[in-house]
Amino acid sequence: MALNIALSLVGFSGFLALDWHWLRHRPVLSAACSAAASFSLVVALLLIPDGPALLPTAWRLYAGCIGAALVGIGATLLAYSILVEIPLLLRRARVNGKPVNSDPSTRTKPVVTGTYALCRHPGYLWLSLLLAGYILAADNVNAIVVSLLWMAFNFLVVLAQDRWIFPAIFQDYDLYQASTPFLIPPRASISRAFAGQEEHHANL
């Protein structure tokens, strides 16, 4: 388990490092950190040792099916938030000639629509959903320990991003912080996300 914890720590630290290199205009190093972090987390997951099961045998099939469904939903939403919504924003920013820059007036605006209308870090919610499904499907004490550690490490990452990194990357990020919750979406945020009522963010 020590190896799994170490690899997990390296993985989530790598995601912070890639943001730092992106802020410093080092795209190659940022991409390298992203690849290394992802590889570390995949290996940590694959090397989780067998541990005692918690669920009665009769419940394991149902728990496994529910867990697999949650993993699929969480993975899909995570991929959409990170691999679809953010690249679309950056592509539009490049077209409009607005690279990440130390000049606040030329920084890219944050994503404020879609899943990012729910909260400022929807990826945290989707990864937690994925991990909850993994816990049910794996039914393994060691899997629970690693999953809870991932949730804790991920919380520290998004907290650092929200307080220090994203305000330096995105234009008017403080306005986004004031209008959109950190993690837990209230009813108003859910309504905006699903109704598409984000016009009031257009001037962020």
Of residues 117 and 97, which shows the higher confidence score? 117
Percent of the chain with pLDDT over 90: 58
Q: What is the mean pLDDT of residues 5-10?
A: 95
Measure CA of the first residue to CA of the last residue in the chain; give whole Å: 45
Q: What is the mean pLDDT of residues 179-183?
A: 94
Q: What is the mean pLDDT of residues 21-30?
A: 84
Sign of CA dihedral 165, 168, 171, 177: positive
Encode pLDDT of 115-172 as tens digits: 999 999 999 999 999 999 999 999 999 999 999 999 999 999 999 999 999 998 888 8
pLDDT reported for residue 200: 41
Q: What is the mean pLDDT of residues 47-66?
A: 89
Whole-model pTM: value is: 0.86
Q: How far apart are CA 201 and CA 3, in angstroms?
A: 44
Quick one: which H or E segment has residue 160?
A: helix 141-160
Q: CA separation (Å) from 129 to 18, 77, 84, 121?
A: 24, 10, 19, 13
pLDDT at 102 over 60: no
pLDDT reported for residue 38: 93
Q: What is the mean pLDDT of residues 91-117?
A: 65
